[in-house]
Amino acid sequence: MTSLIISTLAFFVAAWFINRWLDDNDIGKGMTRGALVFALATLVSFISAAMVDWADTKIEGPQPASLASGDVTQILKALNPPPVQP
C-alpha cells in the first residue's frame, strides 16, 4: 500500500517538474509533449514503487507465500472441515 501512495505522489511531482523543464526549454505544448510527460512520469513512478518495495523487503524481510493454493476444493476443506465422529 505504501508503494502505491508513494508512486502516485511521485507521478504527479515528476509530471510537474518535467512540464516545468519543458516550458523553460520552450518546447511547444501538444500531444507529443503530453505523451512524453506521461511516459517519463510513469517511468519515475515505477522506479519509485520498486525502490519502496526493495526497502520494505530489506527492512521486514521476504513475505511468506500465500497459504491458498488456488485449488477450490482444498480451500473449501480448510474452511469447512468434516465433522468429528464420536
Neighbours of 77 (CB within 10 A): 11
Q: What is the pLDDT of residue 67?
A: 55
Residue 34 has pLDDT above 90, yes or no: yes
Residue 66 has pLDDT above 70, yes or no: no
Q: What is the pLDDT of residue 1?
A: 79
Q: What CA–CA distance (Å, rounded) separates 49 from 67?
A: 25
Band the pLDDT of 21: cuts 50, 70, 90: very high
Chain centroid to CA 25 = 31
Q: What is the pLDDT of residue 78?
A: 73
User: Among residues 59, 50, 60, 48, which one has the least CA distance to residue 15?
Assistant: 48
For residue 8, give Cα distances in angstroms to 4, 13, 35, 83: 6, 9, 18, 49
